[in-house]
A and B are shown apart, each in its own frame.
Chain A
Amino acid sequence: MSVAVDHLGTGKSGAKAGETILDVKDLVVEFPRPGQPTNFRAVNGVSFELRQGETLGLVGESGSGKSMTALSLLGIVPAPGKIIEGSINLRGRRIDNLPLSELRKVRGNDIGMVFQDPMTGLNPVRSVGSQLTESVMRHQAVSKKEAIEIAFHALDDVGIPSPRDRLEAFPHELSGGLRQRVMIALALINHPEVIIADEATTALDATIQAQILDLLRSRLSKATMILITHDMGVAAEICDRIQVMYAGRIVESGTIEEVLTSPRHPYTVGLLAAVPKFDIRRPKLVPIPGQPPTAEDIVRGCPFAPRCRFAEADCDQRPPLEMVQGRKLACWHPRTA
């Protein structure tokens, strides 16, 4: 049994709690649409800050641009997508316009990422150990032997039993839960400043999901983390702050208590109503009617308006993301608490 290690995921720079680590401004990611003059904006003017030691939740339906936001932080937006506008600063250093060779030093070293599907996210024909040591030796000046030791400790830290043997295991020899732990170890192994967990528990069984959440919550409580999820319940468990995204934009952002107890954007209200609860007063799940806009749709005004019960004539103007009573909100007709 391994002991929880305090330093896990807290970065190597020794930044003080509360210091801004990551500063994203007006980020726009576009994909060309074949045969159409305009591009599809997967991320449409997203700005946020991430401070040392906090866990930020990015919440939204699939296609809301949350994963694209995460991928653009690492500069790995899948081709032909591109970052068109905006800036990303990591501890005061602009990283979105770095040359590829510099950017590769950021990936896995300053920002670590855990992906959704542990079944396909690890190379099936290479041992767990070789995939971990490859990343260590890329970013740290260590010998092969030292790298193996580092990998061993990384597996131990994420609670993998008999880590020595597991180094030689191949992904298919591990269960889904163990594989996701390996993915987390891979993201943490170079002690990055920021960890991004993209739907890290979604593909797992419910019990395993709980274990991985527990790992994230207990072991990575001091880590600076972005947690991407479509599940409000998951966000509620581990996030300090939460940002709700819709159609490539942030529509509401605030502390987890504020947003959960008094959601103000109609979309957030809808998302929360769609979370199952053991509560006799709210016996029904309320789905949000309609579909989010797809790549084919050209949206003017408030993107949520077509699905919004509270939409009025002025919703054909785009609502700005503004500070309203201690939280950010992009809505002309916010709900009252």
Chain B
Amino acid sequence: MTTATAPAPAPAFRFKKLGTGSIQLDIGLFLFALVIIALLGQWAFLAPSDLDGNLASRLKPPGFTGRDGMFHIFGTDQLGRDLFFRVLGGLPWSLGISGVAVVCVAVIGTFIGLIGAWYTGIVRTIVLLGIASMIAMPFLVLALVVVAVIGRGFWPLSLTMGFIAWTAVSRVIYAEARGLLTREYVLAARLFGVNKWSILIFHILPGLRPTILVMAAFFFAVLLIIESALSFLGLGAPLNAPSWGNMLSDSRQYLVNAPWMMFVPATAIVTAVISLNLIGDGFAELSRKRARAVEV
């Protein structure tokens, strides 16, 4: 009996695998890494004076070299400030505010979602009512109103967004946690009398990790958009801060004469949002792949 199934030939050597297994995620992480490098780089190379303007070279197009010898790769704005430096200088504002907010969103959203899933009765009713009712309140409207009361600035803005936007995350976490809570291993743990926080933290939370990662990436993008929108409306970052929303807002007066003032921050926002969406999509694809691998 010589019929045999050919074994898969073992590769003689293997390169250490580069990448995560998802093209979207790879591209997204690459773009995002560039952003982070730019963020770190500006502290090393960007002098505060670089953000100052020179009124002699105001509203100059990209590639302009001023009389003072400054080369403006992205052009200048209405105060003669270099747009390249301003976009870099806007990183800590735009990414920082939405970054802090997304951490709040993930933590609060997960916590409330878990509470709703674990408890029954009045607690769950209130959680669900709260989550459901908030779909009717656009984030932007609520954020606008709250920021108007408590004032603009880095921390007020980021915390406001963080404390407002979590409901969508809790809705998803709640649904998933309910599913996980019916699994046999969770029932077994409950039968053994394991403390509820241990169950939630050690049995449920790990199962939610892929979902939280995906939602965090997408919400990072959403919050970045909202932060820029608020700044654009003059209710976000302080008016003279180089946040991308502020830059866009400035550009409105000069669309005819200096369209680059709009295109430069717009490109920055779009690149950041797309790279975050790519990361989110990539995480989603990876977790689907893993789920499928477990099933088979």
B6 within 8 A of A: yes
Bound-state CA distance A299–B1 (Å) is 12
A254 within 8 A of B: no
Nearest CB of chain B from residue A9's CB, rounded to whole Å: 38
Bound-state CA distance A264–B32 (Å) is 66
**Size bin of chain B's contact surface:** under 10
Chain B contacts with A in 1-40, Cβ cutoff 8 A: 1-6, 8
CB-CB nearest in chain B for A300:
B3
Question: Of A296, A303, A311, which is within 8 A of B1 by CB?
Answer: A311
* Residue from B2, B3, B4, B6 whose CB has the most chain A CB atoms within 10 Å: B3
Nearest CB of chain A from residue B253's CB, rounded to whole Å: 52
Complex interface: chain A residues within 8 A of B1 (CB): 305-306, 308, 311-313, 315-316
Bound-state CA distance A104–B4 (Å) is 41
Nearest CB of chain B from residue A267's CB, rounded to whole Å: 14
Complex interface: chain A residues within 8 A of B5 (CB): 293, 296-299, 306
Complex interface: chain B residues within 8 A of A303 (CB): 3
Bound-state CA distance A315–B1 (Å) is 6
Bound-state CA distance A301–B4 (Å) is 9
A185 within 8 A of B: no
Bound-state CA distance A311–B1 (Å) is 6
Complex interface: chain A residues within 8 A of B3 (CB): 299-303, 305-306, 311, 315-316
Nearest CB of chain A from residue B9's CB, rounded to whole Å: 11
Bound-state CA distance A313–B1 (Å) is 5
Contact indicator A298/B2 (Cβ below 8 Å): no
Bound-state CA distance A298–B5 (Å) is 5
CB-CB nearest in chain B for A318:
B3
Contact indicator A301/B6 (Cβ below 8 Å): no
Nearest CB of chain A from residue B139's CB, rounded to whole Å: 33
Complex interface: chain B residues within 8 A of A297 (CB): 5-6
**Size bin of chain A's contact surface:** 10 to 19
Chain A contacts with B in 266-303, Cβ cutoff 8 A: 293, 296-303
Complex interface: chain B residues within 8 A of A305 (CB): 1, 3
Complex interface: chain A residues within 8 A of B6 (CB): 297-298
Nearest CB of chain A from residue B70's CB, rounded to whole Å: 55
CB-CB nearest in chain B for A303:
B3
Nearest CB of chain B from residue A290's CB, rounded to whole Å: 11
Bound-state CA distance A297–B4 (Å) is 8
Bound-state CA distance A303–B3 (Å) is 7
CB-CB nearest in chain A for B6:
A298
Bound-state CA distance A126–B292 (Å) is 30
Chain A contacts with B in 304-322, Cβ cutoff 8 A: 305-306, 308, 311-313, 315-316
Nearest CB of chain A from residue B274's CB, rounded to whole Å: 29
CB-CB nearest in chain B for A298:
B6
Nearest CB of chain A from residue B1's CB, rounded to whole Å: 4
Bound-state CA distance A293–B6 (Å) is 11
Bound-state CA distance A178–B84 (Å) is 69
Bound-state CA distance A287–B3 (Å) is 21
* Residue from B1, B5, B6, B8 whose CB has the most chain A CB atoms within 10 Å: B1
CB-CB nearest in chain A for B1:
A311
Bound-state CA distance A105–B5 (Å) is 42
Nearest CB of chain B from residue A190's CB, rounded to whole Å: 37
Complex interface: chain A residues within 8 A of B4 (CB): 300, 306
* Residue from A297, A303, A308 whose CB has the most chain B CB atoms within 10 Å: A297
CB-CB nearest in chain B for A305:
B3
Complex interface: chain B residues within 8 A of A300 (CB): 2-4
CB-CB nearest in chain A for B2:
A316
Chain A contacts with B in 227-243, Cβ cutoff 8 A: none
Complex interface: chain A residues within 8 A of B2 (CB): 300-301, 313, 316
Bound-state CA distance A206–B1 (Å) is 41
CB-CB nearest in chain B for A301:
B3
Bound-state CA distance A312–B3 (Å) is 10
Nearest CB of chain A from residue B259's CB, rounded to whole Å: 47
Bound-state CA distance A302–B5 (Å) is 12
CB-CB nearest in chain A for B5:
A297
Nearest CB of chain A from residue B6's CB, rounded to whole Å: 5
Bound-state CA distance A201–B8 (Å) is 38
Bound-state CA distance A168–B4 (Å) is 56
Complex interface: chain B residues within 8 A of A313 (CB): 1-2
Nearest CB of chain B from residue A304's CB, rounded to whole Å: 9
Nearest CB of chain B from residue A246's CB, rounded to whole Å: 13
Complex interface: chain B residues within 8 A of A299 (CB): 3, 5
Bound-state CA distance A105–B51 (Å) is 73
Bound-state CA distance A312–B6 (Å) is 19
Nearest CB of chain A from residue B68's CB, rounded to whole Å: 60
Bound-state CA distance A50–B91 (Å) is 73
Nearest CB of chain A from residue B262's CB, rounded to whole Å: 46
Nearest CB of chain A from residue B41's CB, rounded to whole Å: 41
| 30 contacting pairs across A/B (C-beta < 8 A) | A293-B5, A296-B5, A296-B8, A297-B5, A297-B6, A298-B6, A299-B3, A299-B5, A300-B2, A300-B4, A301-B2, A301-B3, A302-B3, A303-B3, A305-B1, A305-B3, A306-B1, A306-B3, A306-B5, A308-B1, A311-B1, A311-B3, A312-B1, A313-B1, A313-B2, A315-B1, A315-B3, A316-B1, A316-B2, A316-B3
Given A313-B1, A316-B1, list of 19 further CB < 8 A pairs? A293-B5, A296-B8, A298-B5, A298-B6, A299-B3, A300-B2, A300-B3, A300-B4, A301-B2, A301-B3, A303-B3, A305-B1, A306-B1, A306-B4, A306-B5, A308-B1, A313-B2, A315-B1, A316-B2
Using CB atoms and an 8 Å cutoff, list the residues of chain B in contact with chain A. 1-6, 8
Kindly list the 3 A-B residue pairs having the minimum CB-CB distance in the complex, ordered from nearest. A297-B5, A316-B2, A301-B3
